[in-house]
Structure 1
Amino acid sequence: MERPVLGVLAGFVTIGAVIGLGALLAQWRILDVEAQKMLSRLAFFVASPALVVTVLADTDVSQIFSANLVASIGSVVVAALVWVLLARLAFRRSVSETVIGAFGSAYVNAGNLGLPIAAYALGNASLVVPMLLTQMLILQPAGLMALDLATAKVKDLSRGAWLWYMLTRPFRNPLTVGSLVGLLLSVTGVSIPPLIGDPLHLVANMAVPGMLLAYGVSLRLGPKPAAGAESLPVATVAVLKIVVQPLVAFLIARYAMGLAPADVFAVTVIAALPTAQNVFTVAVRYGTGVVLARDSIFITTILAVPALVLIAALLT
């Protein structure tokens, strides 16, 4: 019990410190709204694609076909679909805002928070890989494609040009391209030469702190979190992310897949991680659902601490 709880707390302290630094830099007027946008653009177009390439290139893709994957995918699909239905039928959200909310409801912070928590709390960082790869190769490309199609201006294109635009648009997204390149390197076993790999890793190392600093600036300079018109949608996203997703993961892992207790615990913990910071980066990049993304990250990050501690107490 002690090790899982300490691992959970260690992961949250790490990201909380960098977010707090971003808020302080905004308070001291070292960073402003334009700096926040610049950091988000840098993370989206440069650092995050480099990070995706390096992570996938160093990952054994065979892990994605483990039994844990079924539970992880099931939890993502259920949480995202429930949000999509509510967003379209109850909240009357646009397609682009619906995508951001689906990301908030199901996109796990598997990278900068999931990896350390898997290492400290679960004793094996590779346990987060199925969820990480699922998000990079399935959830993220699908969501970005929907955002691209929803925000594209194609009214004046001919039918042939429109079809070509739609088919090629996703492959002009830097995160999708990075995922495909990383997957190709992993599948083929090709190693990145040091002359390319070393600077690539340096650039990749900017992704997480850049996203966290931009998020901290937004918390300080943006509207008060979880207030106003977005309070109900944010609360809905939080329930889906912190309650529904881990519960579905547990039920699938325990009763549908019959996984060992250690694997059930791992799948449930990973599904209960809060919304990833790169959801905010994507929202800023596409100029849609920014407050929803920011507040969802804020609330789920706070609620995930007691949720993960409770899961550790019940399943270990």
Structure 2
Amino acid sequence: MTYVGGVLEGFVTISFVIAIGFLLAHTGVLDLPAQRVLADVSFLVGSPALLLTVLAKADVRALMSEQLLATIAGVVVPVAIYSTVAITRWHRPLGQLVIGNLSSAYVNAGNLGLPIAAYVLGDAALVAPTLLLQMLVLQPLGLTILDHDRRGGRLHLWSIAKSPLTNPMTMGSLIGVALSLTGTTLPRSVADPIALVGGLAVPAMLLGYGVALRLGPRFGGGAPAEVALTSMLKSFVQPLVAYAVARYGLGITGHALLAVTVTSALPTAQNIFTHATRYGRAEPLARDTILVTTLTCAPVIVVIAAVLG
């Protein structure tokens, strides 16, 4: 019951905030332009501050762990499958391809992963390797490609290398990593305002998502087959691959195996919808995948926790 209660508590918290956004949209307090403002505030202000705060306290060297290798495998396989189908069968353009890949393999390691790691795994720090992988590799790469796709033109290696330095979320991550590696602690007069602003990120994402559920295209606006594929890859393929690589490829057992599998089974992160909204790419796909994977996540993680816990 401890494991089940921890999973349900995290989902109840998220669902409650989303429901508030839905209600505010239903009553006319917020509209679609307001949802865009929430997305911009989260992207440009709240999320960079939150990432800086979280990473400054994390053990960056955890990226070198064996568990990370299994986590990476859990990302690579869904991305390879989605890309193959989306390119060869559906001929998706670059921007939609990026959002589809992120929807298939980018987990909600922040506002859902942290409480689940604390309640199900007993240590919130166990989600740090996944957070770092996503913040420092997957998200900067995805956002850089989306930036180029929106502006048009060819993709050059130098542009990819320098573009993350102009992205506020990436910069927040890099500053947080630098603070962690050097053991630097910001003075309270600086750290407290950053933490306060960082508190905007998750509520803004969730409220904006609730508004979009009420006023945006109804569920099913994304192509049904594509939503089914991204949801299946995220909810089932990713944790199965991570488990198989960890257990049979790396010999990981016990609590470490549980941690790898549970974090890989987290649903698609809400900030993928924020990115889709900001760049105007595949918004229905991101929104529908988040909804489906969030609904399926609880029973999946309950089963994992019961079997491996």
AA partner of residue 40 (structure 1)? A
Partner in structure 1 of residue 53 of structure 2: 54
CA RMSD of aligned residues (A): 1.6
Asked if structure 2 preserves the Cα contact closer than 8 Å seen for 1:148 and 1:170, the reply is no
- 1:174-189 to structure 2, matched below 5 A, reads 174-189=168-183
Q: Offset at 1:164?
A: 6.5
Q: Offset at 1:196?
A: 1.2
- Is structure 2 residue 67 aligned with structure 1 residue 68? yes
- Is structure 2 residue 187 aligned with structure 1 residue 193? yes
Partner in structure 2 of residue 173 of structure 1: 167
- 1:108-127 to structure 2, matched below 5 A, reads 108-127=107-126
Q: Offset at 1:14?
A: 0.6
Q: Secondary structure at the match of 2:101?
A: helix
Rounded Cα–Cα distance in structure 1 between residues aligned with 2:159 and 2:63: 31
- Is structure 2 residue 305 aligned with structure 1 residue 312? yes
Partner in structure 2 of residue 158 of structure 1: none
- Is structure 2 residue 231 aligned with structure 1 residue 232? no
Rounded Cα–Cα distance in structure 2 between residues aligned with 1:68 and 1:21: 37
Task: Select the residue among 188, 200, 203 that pairs with 1:209.
Answer: 203
Comparing 169-178 with 113-122, greater Cα deviation is found at 169-178
Comparing 84-93 with 48-57, greater Cα deviation is found at 84-93
Q: Offset at 1:260?
A: 2.0
Rounded Cα–Cα distance in structure 1 between residues aligned with 2:207 and 2:222: 26
AA partner of residue 242 (structure 1)? S
Q: Which runs of 5+ in 2 are unaligned?
A: none
Q: Deviations over 1:164-191 (max 9, x none)?
A: 7555333211111111111111111111
Partner in structure 1 of residue 264 of structure 2: 271
Partner in structure 2 of residue 159 of structure 1: none
- Is structure 2 residue 206 aligned with structure 1 residue 223? no
Note closer, same or farther for the CA distance 1:80–1:166 as it changes in structure 2 (3 Å cut).
Answer: closer
**Percent identity between the two aligned chains:** 51
Q: Offset at 1:264?
A: 1.0
Partner in structure 2 of residue 39 of structure 1: 38
TM-score of the pair, normalised by structure 1: 0.94
Asked if structure 1 preserves the Cα contact closer than 8 Å seen for 2:141 and 2:160, the reply is no
Q: Deviations over 1:92-115 (max 9, x none)?
A: 111110100111001000000000
Note closer, same or farther for the CA distance 1:101–1:229 as it changes in structure 2 (3 Å cut).
Answer: closer
Rounded Cα–Cα distance in structure 1 between residues aligned with 2:161 and 2:47: 23
AA partner of residue 314 (structure 1)? V
The number of equivalent residue pairs is 309
AA partner of residue 64 (structure 2)? F
Partner in structure 2 of residue 95 of structure 1: 94
Asked if structure 1 preserves the Cα contact closer than 8 Å seen for 2:25 and 2:214, the reply is yes
Q: Deviations over 1:242-294 (max 9, x none)?
A: 01000001001111111122111111111011000000111111111111111
Rounded Cα–Cα distance in structure 1 between residues aligned with 2:158 and 2:302: 49
TM-score of the pair, normalised by structure 2: 0.96
Rounded Cα–Cα distance in structure 2 between residues aligned with 1:11 and 1:149: 36
Q: Deviations over 1:38-65 (max 9, x none)?
A: 0000000111011111111111111221
Rounded Cα–Cα distance in structure 1 between residues aligned with 2:53 and 2:307: 35
Q: Which runs of 5+ in 1 are unaligned?
A: 156-161
AA partner of residue 180 (structure 1)? L
Asked if structure 1 preserves the Cα contact closer than 8 Å seen for 2:221 and 2:284, the reply is no
